[in-house]
Amino acid sequence: MVSFAETGGPPVIEDVETLTALAEKHVVALDEGGEILMAHPFAAHRDGTRVEAGGRTWWGNCAWDGLGIVASLGLRDAALRANGVELQVRDGEPHSDACFHIAVRAARWWEDIVHT
């Protein structure tokens, strides 16, 4: 199966029962059409944080997911961009004076994971 890590886009899984089970366990978030919208830290949409490294691009739902992409792929150098804010990762360490705030407690994220 082709993965987010390989292509930057979601894998195609035609087994609706499997996708539904994964969504119920909060492994993935599905869009209205039943396709994978997010498999944290990766996102299929282009409204969140863009991660660029080595000529490749991935998307995360938010800055936290962008850092998760960097960590999960073992990226040593990357640029993260969201809402006009840029964060550089060099030698595996973030370099920026930017900070972000998560207003919703983690225990409530899945109530509306797409907009949290």
71-89 pLDDT, tens digit per residue, is 999 999 999 998 888 999 9
Range of the domain at 18: 4-111
Which CATH number covers residue 44?
3.30.450.410
Report yes or no on 116 lying in a domain: no
Could you give the CA distance from residue 83 to residue 112 in angstroms, rounded to a whole number? 20
Return the sign of the alpha-carbon dihedral for residues 21, 26, 28, 29: positive
Tokens of 14: 């035609």
Query: Please, which pLDDT band fits residue 99 given cuts at 50, 70 and 90?
Result: confident
Report yes or no on 83 lying in a domain: yes
Overall number of domains in the chain: 1
Return the sign of the alpha-carbon dihedral for residues 34, 71, 49, 1: negative
1-43 pLDDT, tens digit per residue, is 468 889 899 988 889 999 999 999 999 999 999 999 999 899 9
Could you give the CA distance from residue 53 to residue 101 in angstroms, rounded to a whole number? 25
